[in-house]
A and B are shown apart, each in its own frame.
Chain A
Amino acid sequence: SQQGEEDPQALSIQEGENATMNCSYKTSINNLQWYRQNSGRGLVHLILIRSNEREKHSGRLRVTLDTSKKSSSLLITASRAADTASYFCATDLSYSGAGSYQLTFGKGTKLSVIP
């Protein structure tokens, strides 16, 4: 079954606004990662947050992790038209008894930033 589930499935905002995407997962994780995918392209790693971290920043990106609720959020501040893409959370189950390295992706949130 899908480990990560993003919410919302689609999000449309005006340029300059903030965009918040959420991810929920089911089992214990080693870390959680966010990736971005432009239409018809591969994925690009954005940020990684470990299970013992609660918040992390990278430029205009802010990620939070709540392991008690098994959820994470990705905030993009001051969005730009170039941020238009699909965003996926991925959970790393390594060192959780899940066997070898394994990254499981959610279904993604499609973000549209209107100029």
Chain B
Amino acid sequence: GAVVSQHPSRVICKSGTSVKIECRSLDFQATTMFWYRQFPKQSLMLMATSNEGSKATYEQGVEKDKFLINHASLTLSTLTVTSAHPEDSSFYICSARALGGYNEKLFFGSGTQLSVL
């Protein structure tokens, strides 16, 4: 099956620093990648949708300048949490939708646990 690789799996950083999370589709081309945030015992909250070569579409309430998304190729999307603060601590998950065909299901990365001290 399709594999989405997400790195790092865990990151601890000081307040004020920036953190970059990578999401790669390893064996397929992803027309669209999604970034989610998940709090403990909560559902996934969609943060933004990114399409290769175009600007990401952010959900209401998500700060574009704080959560920078770059989708430079059909296999790579990155999320950069800029000037991270303790309230940004969360579990971030990416997912990808395959290019072509009638692809309705998503393939997920394994998630990144961000802890901001």
Q: Which residues of A contact B (CB under 8 A)?
A: 2, 30-31, 33, 35, 40-45, 48, 88, 92, 94, 100-101, 103-108, 110
Given contacts A2-B43, A88-B43, A107-B43, A42 and B111 within 8 Å (CB-CB): yes
Check B104 against A106 for contact (C-beta < 8 Å): no
Query: Given A41-B111, A42-B93, A42-B111, 14 other A-B contacts at CB below 8 A?
Result: A31-B104, A40-B113, A41-B110, A42-B4, A43-B44, A43-B95, A43-B106, A45-B105, A92-B104, A94-B104, A100-B49, A104-B46, A108-B43, A110-B41
Q: Which size bracket describes the interface of B in this complex?
A: 20 to 34
Q: Which of B4, B46, B105, B113 has the most CB of A within 10 A?
A: B105
Question: Which A-B residue pairs are the 7 nearest by beta carbons?
Answer: A42-B108, A43-B108, A107-B43, A42-B110, A45-B105, A105-B44, A105-B43
Residues of A within 8 A of B44 (CB): 43, 88, 105
Given contacts A33-B104, A33-B105, A45-B105, A40 and B43 within 8 Å (CB-CB): no
Check A48 against B110 for contact (C-beta < 8 Å): no
Check A103 against B106 for contact (C-beta < 8 Å): yes
Q: Which residue of A lies closest to B106 (CB)?
A: A103
Check A48 against B113 for contact (C-beta < 8 Å): no
Interface of chain B: mostly helix, strand, loop or mixed? strand
Residues of B within 8 A of A94 (CB): 104
Q: Which residues of B contact A (CB under 8 A)?
A: 4, 6, 32, 34, 41-44, 46, 49, 91, 93, 95, 97, 104-111, 113
- CB < 8 Å: which of B43, B106, B110 contacts A45? B106
Complex CA gap A42/B96 in Å reads: 12
Residues of A within 8 A of B108 (CB): 35, 42-44
